[in-house]
Structure 1
Amino acid sequence: MSKVLDEIRNAIESSGTSRYAVSKATGIPQAQLSRLMAGTSGLSIDSLERLADFLGLEIIIRRKQRKRSK
């Protein structure tokens, strides 16, 4: 999950939008966003979806490809 959170963090940072504005637009408390940005907290699925939508990101879940044994 850390790759997903890294992408969310990078998108927030590169958006040029303040955490306050992100908080107001998504309904996610500023304290939670601060913990996310510091890497000390994760996100609920609901919060992850709201942030992704706000940032124009799409979350895709797919099965891993199995490594074939020789």
Structure 2
Amino acid sequence: MAQILAAIKTAIRDSGLTQYRIEQDTGIPASAISRLLSGERGLSVENVERLADYLGLVIDIHPAGKPGSKRTRKGR
């Protein structure tokens, strides 16, 4: 999640958009965006998805572990 939040922070800063404008366009409070940018707090998954979509970012989630390894349930 840290990498996703870092990418969102970078995209916000690079966009030149104000926190107020992002709030108007996404419905995410400017105060929440401010806390994200200052590192005080993260965002909910819903708001991460909303911001990523708004900023044109793609979130790619895949299993952790070594490439090609099979994940098994513990105890099986």
Distance 1:34 1:18 in 2: 10
Distance 2:47 2:31 in 1: 13
How well do the aligned residues superpose, as a CA RMSD in angstroms?
1.4
Aligned equivalent of 1:51: 51
- Give, in angstroms, the shift of residue 66 of structure 1: 1.8
TM-score with structure 1 setting the length: 0.89
User: Which letter maps to 2:3?
Assistant: K
Aligned equivalent of 1:18: 18
- Between the two proteins, the alignment pairs up a number of residues equal to 68
Distance 1:30 1:10 in 2: 16
Distance 1:66 1:28 in 2: 36
Unaligned segments of structure 1, at least 5 residues: none
- 58-67 or 24-33, which moves further after superposition? 58-67
Query: Is the counterpart of residue 34 in structure 1 residue 27 in structure 2?
Result: no
Deviations 1:2-60 (A, max 9, x none): 11111100000000111111111110001101000000101101000100010000111
User: What SS does the aligned partner of 2:7 have?
Assistant: helix
Question: Which one has the bigger helix percentage?
Answer: 1
Unaligned segments of structure 2, at least 5 residues: 70-76
